[in-house]
Structure formats: structure tokens, C-alpha cells
Amino acid sequence: MNKLSAGDLMTLEHYARERSAFRARVLRHKRDRQLAVGPNVTWSFEDRLTVQYQVQEMLRVERIFEPQGISDELAAYNPLIPDGSNWKVTLLIEFAQPAERARALARLKGIEARCWMQIAGHARVFAIADEDLVRENEEKTSAVHFLRFELTPPMVASARAAAALALGIDHEHYRHEVAAVPAALRASLVADLA
């Protein structure tokens, strides 16, 4: 997939005019790219459009318009765009109550390395996690992780040929599986492999 460049972005003024419609479009798109994995974890599959939205929002919030600032944002977010042989996921660990969240994040250390995807007929692929920075310390894990699932050419071919797709988390304190990825998400993920 093509990485974003400054030329792909709207200026702050243009984005201010287009934000409402663009945001609605992105949120509709993201709905088909999110999946609950058990009661407390959501996987949000990233692509060029979701990343563009993140960059545009960061530029807007931080009022960044200088070329170097825009370049820095692109350098931070472009690694989240799949490159045709992988899927990229933002993993969100969600507990409503702060005390419960703190206990869970302590218990779930290492969860990011126990996330897997499987294309029917192939072995599970475990996530490569948090390549940008360490998101865990001695006491707890982070509530947000960035995952990459790297696929072999035969896996890509099988996915394109309509092989079933499953995913899950195999952590001692959080074991949940989605045996069949919903059709809309599956179609979107296969498009990432084009």
C-alpha cells in the first residue's frame, strides 16, 4: 500500500471545511474494520484511510502547518499502513472502572505477544508488537498496543482465494477467539493484500 505524503493531506483550512463529511466517511469505514475479541479487547485494523484521518486530526489539534511538523506526523503514522503482505492492528484493552482497569493491565502483561491470526490451511501468525516503543513496564501493560501480522505469499494467496480467517488471543488470563471473521471485515482485509 502507498504510504501517505504531505500532498495527500488537506491543509488545515481545507480540513476545517471538509472535516464533518470526511469524519463520517472514516467512521463508517472503521466500523467494518473493528472487531471485539472477547469482552474487553477491540482490534481496529488500520489502513491508509484510517491513518490519514489520524494524521489530519493530529495536525488539526496541534495546529501543525509547518512542513517539518507535517513530515514528523507522517513518519509517526505511516508505519501503521499495511504494505500488502501484512495486517496492522491497534489493540485496545477496555475496562470501564479505573480500579478494575489497573488490576487487569497488571494481569495482562504480555497480551500483545499472544495475539494471533490464522488463514485456513496455515499456521497461526502471532503479532509483532509495539515496534515504535515499549508499551509495558514491570507493573503493567498499556491499554493500547500496535500489532503487525506478517503473512507469507502462500497465506496471502489463500486469503485472496477465500480461505476462512480466524483470530484470537491466547494469554493465560485472557483467552478468546473469533472462529470466523465477519464477511465485511474479511473483504476489507483481503483488499489490504492487493
Q: Is residue 13 domain-shared with residue 92, that is, in the same domain?
A: no
Q: Is residue 18 domain-shared with residue 67, that is, in the same domain?
A: yes
CB 156 within 8 A of CB 190: no
Cα–Cα distances (Å) from 138 to 127, 148, 171, in that order, read 21, 23, 17
Residue-level pLDDT at 134: 67
Cα–Cα distances (Å) from 29 to 21, 41, 51, 93, 126, in that order, read 12, 20, 12, 21, 25
Residue showing cell 495546529: 63
Output b/e per residue, 2-11; b: 16+ Cβ within 10 A: eebeeeebbe
Q: Is residue 186 domain-shared with residue 104, that is, in the same domain?
A: yes
Local structure of residue 3 (DSSP, 8 states): P
Of 134, 137, 116, which Cα lies nearest the Cα of 125? 116
Cα–Cα distances (Å) from 85 to 10, 116, 151, in that order, read 28, 16, 5
Domain that holds residue 21: 1-31+48-81
Q: Is residue 92 domain-shared with residue 179, that is, in the same domain?
A: yes
CB 176 within 8 A of CB 41: yes
Q: Is residue 53 domain-shared with residue 90, that is, in the same domain?
A: no
Q: Is residue 60 domain-shared with residue 102, that is, in the same domain?
A: no
Q: Is residue 37 domain-shared with residue 65, that is, in the same domain?
A: no
Q: How would you write the pLDDT of the chain (194 residues) with one tens digit per residue? A: 589 999 999 999 999 999 999 999 999 999 999 999 999 999 999 999 999 999 999 999 999 899 899 999 999 889 999 999 999 999 999 999 999 999 999 999 999 999 999 999 999 999 999 777 667 778 899 999 999 999 999 999 999 999 999 999 999 999 999 999 999 999 999 999 97
CA 160 – CA 17 distance, rounded (Å): 38
Residue-level pLDDT at 58: 93
CB 46 within 8 A of CB 89: yes
What's the domain count of the chain? 2
Residue-level pLDDT at 136: 72
